[in-house]
Amino acid sequence: MTNSQFPRVAVLMATYNGMEWLQAQLDSILTQENVDVTLYASDDGSNDGTDDTLRALSKIDPRVVVLPKIAGTGSAGQNFYRLIRDVDTDAFDYVAFADQDDIWHQDKLIRHIHLINHHQVAAVSSNVTAFWPDGTEQLIVKSQPQLKWDFLFESAGPGCSFLMTPWLVARVREQLLELNSQARQVALHDWLTYSICRAYGAKWFVDATPSLYYRQHALNVVGANSGMLAKWTRLIQFQQGWYRAEVAKVSHVCATINQDPKINVIARLVARPSLLSNLKLLCLVGDTRRRFIDRLGLAICLVLFIF
């Protein structure tokens, strides 16, 4: 890490077979304005040269640190959890998550640093601009007002837009290292991070200004979730129980952090599917998902016993 008058930012990047898009993302991170960046990369067993490229770059650029090779986890979330556990983020002023295939705006980090300080929050995320190979672009809006229990039911937005204080990352690390915590079983690292922040009563700010170009392609783990195919996929996940299981794990983690009786009630209701539990959850729908259409969809799934 170099000495600098600029804020020091640790960027945690999880990679897997991203060689096709990696260079553009590296360029956008390493040329961020008015910040001192150190990029930590964890590769999940790539076979397309991604790991070799990162290691070669680390030999000529001290700002790039590649974690030792491990057996592939097969999960972007688990790869990010490894970064959270193994990187000493306490030595930095701020911490960011990064995907391997996006393109950051040049002022992404410094803008979010100013927002953290101005709003006195533990983290900032933002809207993003999704883009496709054919040149199509779409603004993905995540800046709807936060609700009382939204953190139990969704993330604050794409993790690639997150900038966090070391305090928050340390709280996530504690949960991942806690033997009895379900945190390490949560599929999505960004949702877990947002939920832990809110469970501690810390504030989170969602910026309406997009901070990056969010690349869409066949290998996206989550992606923009736009279009009929994405909606159909989400419905299938509801029906197969994936979403309810994730809400149950997140709620359990939050219930161990925050003793608010309502969080415990939600955790119990979600963990025990029944007509009665769904009816009780239906009464809470207004405080769950930030978008009206998502609240409506959740209500319908509760009534039809799809959730």
DSSP notation for the chain: ----SSPEEEEEEEESS-HHHHHHHHHHHHT-TT-EEEEEEEE---SSSHHHHHHHHHHH-TTEEEPPP----S-HHHHHHHHHHHS-GGGSSEEEEE-SS-EE-TTHHHHHHHHHHHHT-SEEEE-EEEE-TTS-EEEE---SPP-TTGGGT--SS-GGG-EE-HHHHHHHHHHHH-TT-SGGG-S-HHHHHHHHHHHTT--EEEESS--EEEE--TT-SS----SHHHHHHHHHHHHHTHHHHHHHHHHHHHHHH---HHHHHHHHHHHS--HHHHHHHHTTGGGT-SSHHHHHHHHHHHHTT--
pLDDT band at 11 (very low <50, low <70, confident <90, very high): very high
Q: Is the pLDDT of residue 9 over 50?
A: yes
pLDDT of res. 29: 98
Q: Is the pLDDT of residue 3 over 70?
A: no
Q: What is the pLDDT of residues 162-183, one digit of tens each?
A: 999 999 999 999 999 998 899 9
pLDDT of res. 2: 52
pLDDT of res. 74: 87
Q: What is the pLDDT of residues 31-47, one digit of tens each?
A: 999 999 999 999 999 99
- CATH architecture of the domain with range 8-215: Alpha-Beta Complex (3.90)
pLDDT of res. 283: 97
Residues 160, 182: Cα–Cα separation, whole Å: 23
Q: Is the pLDDT of residue 279 over 90?
A: yes
pLDDT of res. 220: 58
How many CB atoms lie under 10 A from the CB of residue 121? Answer: 19
In the predicted model, what is the mean pLDDT of the chain?
A: 93
Q: What is the pLDDT of residues 222-241, one digit of tens each?
A: 555 555 556 666 667 666 88
pLDDT of res. 229: 57
Q: Is the pLDDT of residue 150 over 70?
A: yes
What residues does 43 pair with on adjacent strands? 15
pLDDT band at 50 (very low <50, low <70, confident <90, very high): very high
Percent of the chain with pLDDT over 70: 92
| Domain map (residue ranges) of the chain | 8-215, 228-303
Q: Which amino acid is at 112?
A: H
Q: What is the pLDDT of residues 53-111, one digit of tens each?
A: 999 999 999 999 999 998 888 899 999 999 999 999 999 999 999 999 999 999 999 99
The verdict on pTM exceeding 0.85 is yes
Count the alpha carbons within 13 Å of 259 in the hemisphere toward its beta carbon.
0
Mean pLDDT throughout 133-158? 96
Close Cβ partners of 68 (under 8 Å, ≥ 6 residues apart): none
